[in-house]
Amino acid sequence: MFKWSVTSVINTNVDCMNSDHVLFEGLDKETQTDGTELEDRLVIRRGLTFKKSNVQAIYKRNYRSEVAPDYKIALDTVATTPGIYRLNMYISLSGSQDERYANTRVLKGKPIYVEFEVTSADNTAEKVADKVVAIVKKYMHMVYEDRLLNVTKDGSTGIEIKGISGEQRFSKVALEKWDDDKKDWTLVDESLNGVAGTKITVVAVGDNGFGTYRNIIKDLRLPTAANTRWNRIAQDEAPVVGGEYTQYTIVYCVHRGVLGSDAVGDDVTSVTEHVFYVKSDVKSVWETALGKLGDITPVDASTTVKDVAEPTELHKKKIKAEITTAP
């Protein structure tokens, strides 16, 4: 309830209200003409000033490009063993609710089956690959009227199956052969959840990416009517198509005085988080300005960031000084 966080998108260091002004700048400590002491600070126009003494931590998470799943299947063994074969695939989703994958289960996903016959005339992996590619193209258009994956020939060795989005996951990629005696499909080779098989190579499991246009417009700046209308609010914070954004988080702590109600003289500090997604064009300028507040700690998706909820030693000294000098 009391954990407060705000997110901003920075595309440029030019103020959209006045192109003669910069949007943000890092300033050194100084003494004003009236004797007021100003410490090192980061100033962002229209209301944001971060003082160095109030900053508890600064975290940085780098941009990561989106990568679609990519698998290769060698067909050399298939070419020398005529019969009826089948590609048995299951595509699941990560971070997406695409209705095309709707099913009766809790998690969305779609099975895809592609059957093909290998005759004695198909005596090379390249010939079998040509046949599979042609069937998949026809299958995708006739069944889905769209392309859920791309299948191409992998040189002269087999086929390559690529997804169309980093949100796809090939939970299962299996090559099966029809057994006429058992009246059932028998497994030739398979890859489950990104683990390679004997004839199936996993080039990429798939990655949603981070700081991409898709990531920001899906999770942070939804394309609602309010966000896309003419003369909308905060137009300068709309993500740019193809933009690469790095995330910076400032953990800020300010002494508020005796405001608490849990105990007599309850001294309160407010800890807030300010998250900025900065476009690559202004990343270096931003880091120079942000450096006025202290060191920047790089993190990634696997990093556990400590939840800073207590004043730092610097704040404790500052609070003590305020109490000592109070009238």
Parse the chain into domains and list their residue ranges. Answer: 4-64+212-325, 70-204
Least Cα distance to 294 among 262, 235, 238, 253 occurs for 253
How deeply is 299 buried, as exposed, middle or buried, from its count of CB atoms within 10 A (0-12, 13-18, 19+)? middle
Percent of the chain, pLDDT > 90?
Answer: 64
CATH classification number, 70-204, choose in 2.60.40, 1.10.4160, 2.60.90, 1.10.287: 2.60.40
Least Cα distance to 300 among 215, 218, 211, 213 occurs for 211
Which stretch of 148-157, 180-189, 223-232 has the lowest confidence by average pLDDT?
Answer: 223-232
DSSP-derived letter for residue 296 is P
Tens of pLDDT along 71-123? 999 999 999 999 999 999 999 999 999 999 999 988 999 999 999 999 989 88
Task: Read off the pLDDT band of 307 (50, 70, 90).
Answer: low
How far apart are the C-alpha atoms of 158 and 47, rounded to whole Å?
A: 60
CA distances from 250 to 43, 187, 211, 324, 325 (A): 13, 53, 17, 29, 29
Cβ proximity of 301 and 239 under 8 Å: no
DSSP-derived letter for residue 239 is P
Mean pLDDT of 292-316: 69
Residue 326 has pLDDT above 50, yes or no: no
How far apart are the C-alpha atoms of 152 and 72, rounded to whole Å?
A: 10
Residue 234 has pLDDT above 90, yes or no: no
